[in-house]
Every structure is written in structure tokens, then in C-alpha cells.
Amino acid sequence: MVSGAKQTRLYNKAKKFIPSGVNSPVRAFKAVGGTPVFVMRGKGPFIWDEDKKRYLDFCCSWGPLLFGHAPDALLKRLRSEISKGTSFGVTTRKEVDLAERICSFFPSVEKVRLVSSGTEAVMSAVRLARGFTGRQKILKIDGGYHGHVDSLLVKAGSGLTTFGIADSAGVPPGLAKQTISVPFNDEAALERVFKREGRNIAAMILEPVPANMGVVLPADGYLKHARLITKKYGAVLIFDEVITGFRVAKGGAQDYFGVRPDLTCLGKVLGGGFPLAAFGGKRQIMNYLAPSGPVYQAGTLSGNPVAVSAALWMLTELDKRDPWERLNHRAENFIKRLRAVISVEGYPYQLNSIRSMFTLFFCPVPVTDFASAKKSDTRRFSRFFHLVRKEGVYLAPSQFEANFISTAHSERHLETALKVFRKALKKA
């Protein structure tokens, strides 16, 4: 396994002062083993670790870096903005400008509120749905991850549904019991749950393209069915587009698949690498937020001027450069060639992708939900991860995560990655 002397020393020091040595669990490499990477800097499609080893980066900070690391134009903008102040705790004109831009990108979003993380966006959207409907229960999908929100940290269960089993210590059983989990892509399961619990369900929340069990595509008609059944029973449909928003399409996965939710959670690409997220949706629901409504939500750093400036730059660039066609063409060509390698060699692996997002599952069966994703050979993935890392390619350090291609990944970079992948697959 790849490691460097400086990385190892840093990790040992980190474990003395930080739980497990990391500030977010997946960074600890528990899923793949070995010493985690400590990144020193990033530029374009590359990152460099503390031992000065360079990697072609497909993690891209878990998705937000659509234009790669540290774009020069963004850095120039931020140098100017930081000189004006770093935080005010009061409203700025830029917040209004950003809210207007978000609404223009997402037709389903009539009003929007800014927050600092995807978890905060989801937490707020769930509370708002409960306040708006006067109901308590939340429906999610097996394997669906929506940040570390107490009521959504519920284990994916086998069978039709799983009620109230917390996936983390510290979650009160009574709160966990308010969450129902169903298999993804199973319309019949949705019908059964809503028939039994429909009048108690405040909201159904899902990623339209799950990316936290690895990339899993919705079956034809599944999202439209979710839209119809939530409307029938008066439940709020929440799309968690923290990852897919602005990446799958200009208006997110809801634009790509033609399904409008009631509420949308956004993050990642929106902040351009800064801690910024948002939730928004129908006017009549959003008006339930304090101070005009009874649902309380607040944040001192919500709408932070530096993060908002980064977001305004990002959305302006997206409008100006319209990068999706070229990026998706390049990404899909890479995916096509990688799929051909898997097919020709007869590997029992699955390559799931949508636009510039992909996951290579070390799995013998098609991955269509969490149950099939869990059939993956995680030990083989671990070997593959370290083999490509040794050759200077960095992937998300978990079988059950998405990888991302940015506009900074050139054809030459992707050709290099393809050669590394082909070599590693023979040894994994």
C-alpha cells in the first residue's frame, strides 16, 4: 500500500488530537486500508500530497470542483472579495443576487435559503416539510445518505422496508422510528408503504441519482412515480441534489429527468469548493420559514460573503461557458472506453455512470439499488484503489462513492487514467 514518511508522521500526530485523525470518517481510509492522503495543494485536475506525490484527482473534493482545483479566475475574484471582509452576520446584496440566480437555474425553486453545508440543507428541508404538512414520518431509500441528520441515519434494511433502526449511536430510537426506508427503484414498495403510512408521511427524500452507495441510476419512470405518489398522498417530495445539482445538467437531475420536486437541496458545485449550500422550492412551502412562518431555521454564517462570491462566480461561469456538452462528451467517451476494457477482459464488474459521474463496482451483478451494491467485492476494490494510487491516480477511497471528471481533465489526462486502470484491473 502506498504511504510516505511525512504522511505517516502526520497521521500519527493527527490521531492524538482528532478522533481517528480525520474530520470526516471516509478520509481515514478504513474502507481501503493504509495511511490516508494528506493533501498539500491542488491545481487543475491534480492534487499533491505532503510527500509531494502528484495524483490525477477523480475525487474532486467529492464533486464540487467542476472546473478543477483553484481556477485562476476564481482566485482573482476571491482575493478582491476577502479584502472587503470575511463575515458580517447581516444580509448582503450578493445573497439576493445569488438567490435570484439559483431560482433561474432551477424552475422548481421559487424561493431559496442559503446555509453552510449539505447536511444543514437537508436537515432544514426535512424540518420544513414536517412543519408544512403537520406530519412526522420521513421516507427515504435504502442506502440513501443525506448528511449526518439524526432522523436520516437509518440502516438500509433487507426486504420491503426497514423501520426505525438507527445506523449511529446517539440517535434516539423514538426519532429513528419516524423514518421509513424502502429499496431504490422499487415502485411496488412505494405503493405498499404509502398505502399503509401515506397520511403520516411528511416527505419522501431521495437523491434522484444516488451517489453515496456509488452511482446508481433511477429506473425508467421511477422518479415520475415518486412524484405522482407523493402528490397523491400530500407528502412533500424532496430531491437531494447536493451532488447532482449543476453537475448532471444546468438545472440538475430534475432538469435531466424532467421531474420537479417540491423542495430541492443544493451544495457541492454551487459553492465552487467553499462551504455553501442551499434549500429551496415552492413559495407556499418556503414561506413557512421563520420569521414569517412557524418553522425556525437560522445560521450565523449562512450567506457568508466569501462563499457567496465564489458561488456567484461559479454560476456566472456556468452560464458563460455552458460546459456540460463538452465535459459530458469527454467523460462519456472515457466511460465507453473503460467499459470496453471491462467487457473485453471479461471482468465481473459493473460500471455505472451518468454524465461526468461514475463508479466502478467490483460486483458480478448489475447495480440497481443498495442490496446489489453491497454484493461488491470490497477487498478487490481496495487492491484496485491502491494500485491506481501507486500509479498517481486518486479515486474516492470507498467502493460506495462516486468519482467525478472536471473540465480540467483533458483527453490526455483521461487517456493516462485509462492506461492505469487497465493495468490495475489485471492485478486487482
Catalytic residue numbers? 145, 240, 268
For residues 166 and 155, the answer to whether their CB atoms sit within 8 Å is yes
- The C-alpha cell at 255 is 432538469
Q: Which residues pair with 115 in a beta bridge?
A: 277
Give the SS3 label for residue 350: strand
Residues in the chain: 428
Vertex 331: Cα angle to 329 and 335 (nearest 5): 115
The dihedrals phi and psi of 90, each to the nearest 5 degrees, come to: -135, 165
DSSP 8-state class, residue 9: H
| Angle in degrees, 0-180, between the axes of helices 324-345 and 411-427, rounded to the nearest 10 | 20
- The C-alpha cell at 226 is 415518486
Scanning the structure block, which residue is given the C-alpha cell 414536517? Answer: 130
For 358, half-sphere exposure in the C-beta direction (CA atoms, 13 angstrom radius) is: 20
Nearest C-alpha neighbor of 102 from the set 260, 328, 326, 318: 318
For 36, half-sphere exposure in the C-beta direction (CA atoms, 13 angstrom radius) is: 24
DSSP 8-state class, residue 25: G
Give the SS3 label for residue 121: helix
Q: End-to-end alpha-carbon separation of the chain, Å?
A: 13
- The C-alpha cell at 381 is 476494490
Pairing of strands 137-141, 179-182: parallel
Burial-class residue 181 by CB neighbours within 10 Å (0-12, 13-18, 19+): buried
E-assigned strands of 7-60? 39-43, 46-49, 54-57
How far is residue 411's CA from residue 198's CA, in Å, rounded to a whole number? 49
For residues 282 and 246, the answer to whether their CB atoms sit within 8 Å is no
DSSP string for 359-379: EEE--SS---SHHHHTTS-HH
